[in-house]
Every structure is written in structure tokens, then in C-alpha cells.
Amino acid sequence: MKKLGVCGDSYFASISYDPNNLDNGYGKHFTEILAEKLGWEVITFARGACGNQTIRLQIDEIIKLKPDLVIVGTTSPDRFEYPINDLKTEKYVDKFTDLLHEVSYKENEGLTNIEYLDCPDKSSEQFIFKNKKPVLFADTLNNIFQNNRYLKKNEIQILEKWYDRFYDFQWKKQTDTWIISDGLRKLMDNDINFFCINRFLYENQLSFYGNKIIKVDSPLNPSNYNSVNENVPYRFHTTLKSQEILADLWLKHINENYGK
């Protein structure tokens, strides 16, 4: 059976089964509907609120599973990965030593550095996260400022001041573009077909990938169906009808462009 790989944020994240909430969107995500229509297996690492850095790590994991096609959804540059643990040290230079190795990012752990098990997304069920102790949490600045259980109030206030003075949206957009482009290049190097939905990144810097890049205004972009004013309860932000529409549009797109 062919495999459809999925990387991205909440717009691309299918939902885990919850016996206490049978209307949470389980089995209703467009990638699940699409895979059923294709007769393929779907493999997802998409996770709500994650940033483009985490999506880049998702691509590495998808490649290991050798899918036939990958849908990569990019996200906004206002997202960060930050330590779950308190990494305070006595000296600034300690940050450059192995002193914090056990509780900070580890290169060989890849995506398992990121907290997944605390999320209701289906990707949290992937076997790679079992018996792993994540060290980073991925979230939007908006979520961090409004409601965050990992950071203390004074830490959030410090982050707000940093954001006001030191955060440049366009520069973060540039670095995120480089990061995602590197992931797409790795998919190509591994002869894996893909389509990437570009929502915020620099379009001209992704032009090398040709029609593999889905532009932000495309009807294939799930964020264009965002139901902000409809009080939709689903973590993927759209109505179930919109998910069905997306599945049909993607089916047509794949049938016309897969492998080209």
C-alpha cells in the first residue's frame, strides 16, 4: 500500500480518538479522507502550534518511513521552540558547554526533542515518542503570552519585552524560509514526491521547487477555510464540510500532478 506523509501545524494535524469527546474531529481531517479516497496509508507528524523548525524535524522522520508522497504545510514565523526545563546557569559561557546536555536539545534525538505526548494530535501516537523525554516545547507567541503552563509569569513578561525589542518578523521569516527549503531539498535528494503549502515564507526563494509549491491563495491551502467566526470546535480550525472539500481538491490535484 502506498503511503501519504503529512508534516505541518494544526491545519494539517489529524486528531486522536477521544472516547470523552466523540465530536473532536477524529477521522475527519482532509488528509485522512484523502488517503481513504486514494487507497493509501496516511502517516502524520503534524502537530498543532509547532513552528517551521519543528516541521523541518518532521520531514526528517517522514523520510525514514519512505512515503510515496508528502504534504508539507508551513506555518507563521511567530512560533518558537523553547526549553521545558529551567536552563539557568551561573555563567553565560556555561551555555556553550556540555553542562546542560541531558536537559537540552540533542542532535541525534531529532523530533523526539519536541513535546508531542501532551498534544491531542494523532501524531503523538507515533512510536518514536514512546519512552522519550522531550526537552523542548513548540508554541506560538500568542499562546505563550495568553496561557502557558511551562513558563512562569515573570518569564513570560521577560519574553514580551524581548519580543518588543529584539524580534524581527521579516528576519525570522527569512531563517524559516532557509530551514524549510533545506527540508524540501532533502525530500528531493531522497526521491520523495511532495507538495509544500507556502503560507508565510519568501515565495521567490522557493521558486526552485516549481509546481511543488502551493501558493498561499490556493484553494488547496487549508488555512483559507479558517472558520474564525463560526465557533468551530475542531483543532484543525475548519468545518467538517471544508475538510471534505479540501480532500476532493487534493485528490484532483494529486491525480493531475503526482510524480510530475
Residue 87 pLDDT level (bands cut at 50, 70, 90): confident
Residue 248 lies in a domain: yes
Residue 244 lies in a domain: yes
The answer to whether residue 99 is domain-embedded is no
Q: Is the pLDDT of residue 229 over 80?
A: no
Q: What was the pLDDT predicted at 38?
A: 97
Average pLDDT over residues 144-152: 84
The reply to whether 108 falls in a domain is no
Q: Is the pLDDT of residue 94 over 70?
A: yes
- Give tens-digit pLDDT for 242-254: 999 999 999 999 9
Instruction: Give the span between the Cα atoms of 193 and 127, in whole angstroms.
Output: 24
Q: Tell me if 116 is assigned to some domain.
A: no
- Count how many domains the chain has: 1
Instruction: Name the average pLDDT for the chain.
Output: 94
Over pLDDT 70: what percentage of the chain?
A: 98
Residue 147: domain span: 3-82+138-257
Q: Residue 260's pLDDT is what?
A: 65
pLDDT value for 93: 85
Query: pLDDT: is 18 or 150 the higher one?
Result: 18
Lowest-confidence region among 22-31, 145-154, 194-203: 145-154
**Residues contacting residue 150 through CB under 8 Å, at least 6 positions apart:** 82, 84, 137
| 10 lies in some domain | yes
In this prediction, residues 64-74 reach a mean pLDDT of 98
Percentage of residues of the chain with pLDDT beyond 90: 86
Is position 201 within any domain?
yes
User: What's the pLDDT score for residue 102?
Assistant: 80
The CATH number of the domain holding residue 40 is 3.40.50.1110
Q: Which pLDDT band, with edges at 50, 70 and 90, does 149 fall under? A: confident
95 part of a folded domain: no
pTM for the whole structure: 0.96
User: Angle at the Cα of 199 (from 198 to 204), degrees rounded to 5?
Assistant: 50
